[in-house]
Amino acid sequence: MKKLFDKLYKDSKESFDKILKDSLKKEKKMFIVTANPETLMKSEYDFELQKLLNDKNSILVPDGIAIVKASKMLGYDIKERIAGIDIATTLLEYGNDLKKKIYLFGAKQEVIDSMLLVLKDKYPNLEVVGATNGYEKDKDKIFASISKLEPDIVLVALGIPMQEKLIYKHLEKFKKGIFVGVGGSFDVISGHKNRAPKIFIKLNLEWLYRIIKEPSRLKRFYESNVKFMFRVRKYK
Ligand code: UDP
């Protein structure tokens, strides 16, 4: 796990946004993994996940204050957190500006339905080439067929590590496109769930808000974040 810190994107969110825009303009293929403690901890025993994280073409961004703090503890000069939902929103904006094609994959059908309304209203120049909920059985078949639609942006909201594994498995079939696993972002962008109030985000307490709203997340938080910080201390 330790060597994954070398791979993490260390510059500002602003500079990452520039890379996103440039890649969209130039139709570069890009696979972004929003790495949080859960991702890194799972990669210790999940070798498929470990392989995709270590792939030289996978771009890892620090998703979460715990990753930023841990990187600093280990001596890395890392600027800030880049959350999956921010990447998703930036891609919607740039995709709209540049009149690009998008595919949405994941979340419940009612969330997808609301996403389509939001996109039509707020990002009218984005061309939605397809949208599928994340509870269909044959996800491989669906994902493989997306390549024929040649989307410029593919947002996959299935949760870690299913979303990353699905993208990685089929990436070769695509000539272009920005691919990113965005977790629960569709739930928020569609309005089905609220994002944490700005003050929580500013104080780096978004994780706390999510636990308060959904106490069932506490176990997941302990399994990932708490154990992660102990592990990082050990490395130090
Ligand atoms: N999800 C899905 N199919 C599944 C399991 C989950 O589409 O088989 C969706 C779920 O509806 C939610 C997202 O994946 O929209 C995961 O959200 P979560 O908040 O757990 O992700 P996080 O942001 O914490 O990584």
Q: How many helices (H) and strands (E) does the chain have?
A: 14, 6
**Per-residue confidence (pLDDT) for residue 236, from 0 to 100:** 79
Shortest-distance atom of ligand 1 to CA 85: 23
- Tell me the CA–centroid distance for residue 190 and ligand 1, in Å: 14
Supply the pLDDT for residue 223: 85
Q: What is the per-residue pLDDT across 202-227, written as a single tens digit (0 to 9) for each?
A: 999 999 999 999 999 999 888 888 89
Q: What six digits make up the tokens of 149?
A: 């639609």
Residue nearest to atom 8 of ligand 1 (CA): 135
Residue 111 CA to ligand 1 centre (angstroms):
11
Distance CA 64, CA 40 (A): 12
Separation of CA 108 and ligand 1 centre (Å): 9
Q: For ligand 1, what atom is nearest to the CA of residue 159? A: 16
33-50 confidence digits (pLDDT tens): 999 999 999 999 999 999
For residue 224, the 8-state DSSP code is I
How much is the average pLDDT of 92-96?
Answer: 98
115-124, long-range: CB < 8 A, 24+ apart: 115/186, 115/189, 115/190, 118/189, 118/190, 118/191, 119/92, 122/92, 122/96, 123/92, 123/93, 123/95, 123/96, 124/96
Strand partners, 156: 105, 181
Which pLDDT belongs to residue 2? 84
151: nearest Cα among 126, 187, 124: 126
- pTM (global) more than 0.75: yes
| Pocket lined around ligand 1, Cβ cut-off 6 Å | 106-108, 134-135, 157-160, 183-184, 186-187
Q: pLDDT-derived band of residue 1, with 50, 70 and 90 as boundaries?
A: confident
Contact status, residue 24 vs residue 95, Cβ threshold 8 Å: yes
Q: What is the mean pLDDT of the chain?
A: 96
Does the pLDDT at position 182 exceed 90? yes
Domains and CATH numbers, the chain: 13-235 (3.40.50.2300)
pLDDT tens-digit series, residues 71-84: 999 999 999 999 99
d(CA 10, CA 3): 14
Atom of ligand 1 nearest to the CA of 187: 15
Ligand 1 centre to CA of 182 (Å) is 9
Tokens of 29: 């293929």
- Cβ atoms 170, 147 nearer than 8 A: yes
| C-alpha 204 – ligand 1 centre gap (Å) | 22
Model confidence band, residue 155 (pLDDT cutoffs 50, 70, 90): very high
